[in-house]
Amino acid sequence: MTVLQERWQELADVKDELALRDWFMGTSGNLAIKVQDSPTEFLVTASGKDKRKRTAEDFLLVDANGQAIEDTHLKPSAETLLHCEVYTKTAAGCSLHIHTVANNVISEIYGNRGKIEFQGLELIKAFGLWDEDAVLTIPIIPNHAHIPDLAEEFQKHLHGDSGAVLIRNHGITVWGKNAFEAKKLLEASEFLFQYQLALYQIQSQ
């Protein structure tokens, strides 16, 4: 199996798993995985596909600017520019963007503060925070219909090779060393958002 085939399969497996959880409602969401450096090439989800199906047209190979490398009728996801920022500014190998009810609601409630913080929860260790008093901060950026503006805002928060950014009413984007690490951050974030939402419903009363 070539590196391309391996990466394709890894991303397809992640897609299957997230689809089973209904994390691509209304054809939302897009996924990417790096295939090589210098020059950067990565696979990204093709636009307008049903992500519950597994086909040979689910992904296409693009360059650091998000342009298709081979001649194809497939179009990269509208938000490919955000993935370009990830692979240009960090050493991450995989980046995932999805919508859930919890991540959208959290992004709206905490949107004006520009971030949400978690402390004292075991699950923040998924982000590599092992100290007893560590604080996980997930920034929340405004949504922009114009994708280059959104990408510009997004890249300001690419401070490491793994991380997460919430876009207000527009889901979360996570990035990590590889598919395993990116999925771990995605799951941990979702857990934390659902936790915060449940606690909010009780404590604000």
Q: Which residues line the annotated binding site for Zn(2+)?
A: 97, 99
Q: Which long-range contacts (CB under 8 A, 24 or more apart) does 133-138 make?
A: 136/192, 138/164, 138/165, 138/166, 138/172, 138/189
Q: Does the footprint of its own copies cover residue 112 (CB under 8 A)?
A: no
User: How far does CA 175 lie from the centroid of its chain?
Assistant: 6
Binding status of residue 135 toward its own copies by CB under 8 A = no
- Cα 17 off chain centre by: 14
Among 46, 102, 165, 166, binds its own copies (CB under 8 A): 102
Is 200 near its own copies (CB under 8 A)?
A: yes
Report d(CA 183, CA 85) in Å as an integer. Answer: 19
| Element containing residue 203 per DSSP (H, E) | helix 179-203
Residue 177, interface with its own copies (CB under 8 A)? no
> Considering the complex, what minimum distance in angstroms separates the CB of residue 38 from its own copies?
29
CA distance 185 to 192: 10
> Cβ 159 to its own copies, closest distance in Å?
20
The nearest distance, CB 41 to its own copies, in angstroms, is: 25
Assess 27 for contact with its own copies (CB under 8 A): yes
Whichever of 21 and 159 has its CB closer to its own copies, that residue is 21
Burial class (CB in 10 A: 0-12, 13-18, 19+), 64: middle
User: Which candidate, 188, 171, 138, 182, places its Cα nearest to that of 24?
Assistant: 171
Q: Does 169 bind its own copies (CB under 8 A)?
A: yes
**In whole angstroms, how close is the CB of 156 to its own copies at the nearest point?**
20
Q: Name the site residues for its own copies (rule: CB under 8 A).
A: 17, 21-22, 25-28, 50, 52, 99, 101-102, 104-105, 108-109, 120-123, 126, 130-132, 143-145, 167-171, 180, 183-185, 187-188, 190-191, 194-195, 197-202, 204-205
